[in-house]
Structure 1
Amino acid sequence: MFYMGQQVYNDIIIGAGSAGCVLAARLSEDGRRRVALLEAGTHYQDAAAMPQDLLDGNSMSLVQHSWGLAAQLTADRRVAFPQGKVSGGGSAIGNTVAIRGMPADYDEWAELGNPLWSWTKALPTLAAVEDDLDYGHRRFHNATGPLPIRRWREEELTAVQQAFLDGCLANGYPYAEDHNHPGSYGVGPIPSTRRDARTRVSTAMAYLWPAQDRAGLEVFPDTCVDRIVIRDGRAVGVIVDGEEVSADRVILAAGAVWTPTILWRSGIGPADELRRLGIDVRVDRPGVGAGLIDQPRIGVFVTPKPGRDNYGASTGQIVLRTTSSGSDARANDMYYAMVNRFDLAHHFPELRKGADGSIVYGVMAVARRAHSRGSVTLQSADPSVAPRIDLGYLSDERDYPLMAEAVRQCWELATTPAVLEHGRHVVLMNEQILASEEAMRAYIASAIDTAYNPVGTARMGAADDEAAVVDQYCGVYGTEGLFVADASVMPTMVCANTLLSVLMIAERASLLLRER
């Protein structure tokens, strides 16, 4: 039975993921506060206790420390949807890519009624997060933050990564030494959350470990929150295993899937749907769980020759950031990466039908600004029942030509002689498919996959925006003492992996909360 005693906390933080670890570390810096960090998964307190799958940055841990969720990808396909169930969350199981959004991304947030989140406001915090081992001394960067960031050295590249880099340069793309420079564009090494070439550094390691022994901070692993207790319009605690734990303030940092789920169970969401589930309506907010944005990926892959499967190498090392033809500016809305090795048991499962073996390499594209939207909805008020995740891929017709352009670019980069010499054959793609609109649509529908970057299910916005869930201070509309500070609040997608933007949100939210 879960037990926290009769302690009343100043802050209860739900979720020790990428954002929650930051919030716990920052809010507990004030020694007068009592902070409880509740994590549904395991918390490893040091490197000696941490299993190898979490330390190995060269491989994503998509099974051992994941919730085991599934998502409706398109109308016809359902796929595994790994989400971290361990302190550090996605930063503990992901591929360590640490790329900032573009300045226009954050300015768009400001234009949507959130002036505190413009590029000029976000940049100092994005820099403060990092201990940049390469460019910490340069403008726009920092070398004293908690999270190490390093880039791949030339001598560390695999042969196919070098071939990809050379091919992009030969096609006229400029070399981008620093993808976190606000004017970056072109091809160059991936910035990663590592201090060396192998070890993943999560937010649990960078933020929580140095803070976990503070007298005012208590970490409760293996602790699932049923719901938030709201009385007279104010959040006053949480229910865990039937026990009410009291707090002056409750902060949701459970991520874009679990944050809206907990809000629904707490009576905050679309009123008709809550009533259908037998949940008392506390606040009618139709935007909770709606507007889910994720980044679709697709690619052209090759079955490797024996002995050339890049076993043990990092998933990616070199990336090309460029702009789709449909974009009205050089926004870096397309991301092309050479993949050293994918196991089709976990990635692009439909490709297994045409692959000679379970391992592939090749060029993968991620559409940062796809048009389709999905949702996270509650199937039952029972906390043991997972929510329904609908990514909504290809529900917007505009995404077909976007992904077709991506496939053609992947084909051009993946079929250079220097890349193909390491493989036996291309999987399920040829020039006849490229030339046929019908065949291309079929390939896209069968091969599209998720990049695991969900955002926007409790988005921030102006008070007159009915779809908004929180204000720019991260306070949930219609309540007092309840806040959200994770990927859920992002009103639009950034042209990057979401990790650094999530950490920026948590850092800035911590400052705003400490001022209240």
Structure 2
Amino acid sequence: MRRFDDIVVGAGGAGAVLAVRLSEDRGRRVGLIEAGPHYQDTVTTPADLLDGNTMSLREHSWGLTARITADRRIPFPQGKVTGGSSAVGNTVAIRGTPADYDEWAALGNPLWSWDQALPVLTALEDDLDFGTREFHASGGPVPIRRWRPDELTPAQHAFLEGCLAAGHAYAEDHNHPESSGVGPIPSTRRDASVRVSTAMGYLWPVRDRPNLEIMPGGLVDRVVVRGGRACGVVVDGEEISARRVILAAGAIGSPAVLWRSGIGPGDRLRHLGIPVQADLPGVGAGLTDQPRIGVFMTPMAGTEDEGKATGQIVLRTTSSSSVAPRFNDMYYAMVNRFDLTHHFPKLREVAGARSVFGVMAVPRRTHSRGSVVLASADPAAPPHVDLGYLSDERDYLLLAEAVRRCWQLTQSPKIVGQGQDVVLIDQQTLESEESMRHYIDAAVDSAYNPVGTARMGKADDETAVVDQRCAVHGVDGLHVADASVMPAMVCANTLLSVVMIAERVASFLAE
């Protein structure tokens, strides 16, 4: 039997970080298990992973689907490769706000306040623009650069000008804690084209480290628990021993592994014939994701922006219709080009075009919640993902506000002039509550930022799965460190927060 001090399950935005940091102790033997492939350099890495301008939603994906509303299902891509979703996503690198992390602390996790998180968020970055300024640093494993004026497409220039004309402030640095307004998107790349994943930033520089073994192509069935303690994992029928196991398989993968290990809601586990090791009803519950919606047009011939980055300029602002608005809880981006092959299936039905462009909105904090539930104990059977969109009526107000703002921003003559037809919506839709609801039901999609399915909290919180050091309640030697432990959504894309979680948990474990 192979034996390790630490086994990390999942080599994505968190797992790659954990494995590298834990193996810095040369006396510690670390195993990193990834279900997808591992590429060790730019020569062997496929083009879809290097191309930062296009999300790779098929070639390196788990092929999941999700129930998005009561009567719709959508593809729900999650990265299946070292680097995980950081290797296939849109490269947006925006931190959460100070209030986001302070909320985590207020929910019983004082180790995760803004004051605790900021030094880690700073140290992980290699900011190519503001590395010498306050709140930033140079030399970290995550490169961050912003789009230059000469790199913007005409539509992006028009969007920037339109937002400024509407009274929004210019934001040169969206990662400054007080920044709000419109400005260039910070991205995980060193140039205008190549995506840099956590595999590239963390794993590649230590590829020859003798005490770190990367095991690609391995599907983890379950964690082996004996006498209330994790002592290894089962991978493709083989048991691998470890003194400690850290799950970093993401907000969908980690709860699925926990369920198969007998850790989750006891009644549901018994129904599946899985022996209960720890009855934790919060495993897989409370799934929170960020919806996206927008106003899109079919492009005029010659304006398709083929090969250009999906987005370059973003507007961050605060909702006016939320019951409890949070600073920067609304995100608007000019989309150069959306290939409808994999996005917005309802738009694909009616657009009559291969792609659309326009203004997209992402409400960062919604009220609806979903779940991740196993339908089978078979590790090859995908979990049932229910995003639960629009299960809370208040989210219709948020999305209606988002659509109306998108409509206003697309009315710039320089933007409208590049399009032919607006898809599925018109001025009458905006003026009718019933029509707006129909549009939201048909057009809402996911921004692929799931969190909260193994949330951190105190032991007396029945919805909590891990404590604030991310140790699983009731099982010794088992930790979870990825987006699933977030107790509340951040007003940002989740990547930098996930990397920060991994860095911080690795420091706890190294103690």
Give the corresponding residue for 2:457.
461
* Counterpart for residue 506 of structure 2: 510
TM-score normalized with structure 1 length: 0.98
Query: Would you identify which runs of 4 or more consecutive aligned residues in structure 1 move more than 2 Å?
Result: 326-330
Aligned to 1:271: 266
The aligned residue for residue 260 of structure 1 is 255
Quote the residue 1:193 is aligned against.
188
How far the C-alpha of 1:326 sits from its partner, in A, is 3.0
Give secondary structure in 2 for the equivalent of 1:394.
Answer: coil
Report if aligned partners of 2:321, 2:401 keep a CA contact under 8 Å in 1.
no
Partner of 1:33, secondary structure, is: coil
AA matched with 1:111: A
Specify the alignment match of 2:89 in structure 1: 94
Provide closer, same or farther for how the CA distance between residues 61 and 448 of structure 1 changes in structure 2, counting only shifts above 3 A.
same
1:406 is aligned to: 402
Q: CA deviation at 1:10?
A: 0.3
Distance 1:320 1:472 in 2: 33
Deviation string 1:221-244 (CA, Å, 9 cap, x unpaired) is: 000001000001000001112221
3-state SS of 1:162 partner: helix
CA contact (8 A) 1:268 1:288 kept: yes
Residue 295 (str. 1) matches residue 290 (str. 2): yes
Match 1:36 to one of 31, 35, 53: 31
The answer to whether residue 14 in structure 2 is matched with residue 14 in structure 1 is no
C-alpha displacement of 1:329: 5.1
Q: CA deviation at 1:116?
A: 0.2
Deviates more, 1:304-313 or 1:347-356: 347-356
Quote how far apart the aligned CAs of 1:144 are: 1.5
Unpaired runs of at least 5, structure 2: none
Which residue in 2 is equivalent to 1:478? 474
CA deviation vs aligned residue, 1:98-135 (integer Å, no higher than 9, x gap): 00000000000000000000000000000011000000
1:84-105 superposed Cα distances (whole Å, 9 cap, x missing partner): 0000000000000000000000
Contact 1:72 1:390 in 2 (8 A): yes
Q: Report the Cα distance in structure 1 between the residues aligned to 2:252 and 2:40, rounded to whole angstroms.
A: 25
Deviation at 1:386, TM superposition (A): 0.5
Task: Note if 1:60 corresponds to 2:55.
Answer: yes
For 1:174 and 1:48, locate their aligned partners in 2 and report how far apart those are by CA, in whole Å: 42
Cα RMSD for the two superposed structures: 0.7
**Structure 2 partner of 1:76:** 71
| 1:148 and 2:134 matched | no
2:424 to 423, 428, 444: 428
The answer to whether the 8 A contact 1:354-1:427 is kept is yes
Instruction: Give runs of aligned pairs for residues 111-260 of structure 1, distance below 5 A.
Output: 111-260=106-255
Task: Report the CA distance between 1:416 and its aligned residue.
Answer: 1.4
Partner secondary structure for residue 44 of structure 1: coil
Asked if 1 retains the 8 angstrom alpha-carbon contact of 2:68 and 2:387, the reply is yes
Task: Tell me if structure 1 keeps the 8 A contact 2:364–2:490.
Answer: yes
CA distance, structure 2, for counterparts of residue 87 and residue 96 of structure 1: 15
* Aligned-pair CA distance for 1:345: 1.2
Q: Please report how far the alpha carbon of residue 330 of structure 1 lies from its aligned counterpart in structure 2 after TM superposition.
A: 5.4
Q: Using the alignment, how far apart are the partners of 1:472 and 1:505 within structure 2? A: 11
Asked if residue 346 in structure 1 is aligned to residue 342 in structure 2, the reply is yes
Deviation digits for residues 344-374 of structure 1 (CA, Å, limit 9, x no counterpart): 1111111123213121000000010011000
Is the partner of 1:455 in helix, strand or coil?
coil
The separation in 1 between residues aligned to 2:419 and 2:25, in whole angstroms, is 56
SS at match of 2:351: coil
TM value normalised by structure 2: 0.99
Partner of 1:492: 488
CA contact (8 A) 2:321 2:397 kept: no
Counterparts of 2:355 and 2:453, CA distance in 1: 34
| Unaligned runs of at least 5 residues, structure 1 | 1-5
Report deviation, 1:272. Answer: 0.2
**Cα separation, partners in 2 of 1:230 and 1:76, compared to 1, 3 Å:** same
Offset at residue 211 of structure 1 (A): 1.7
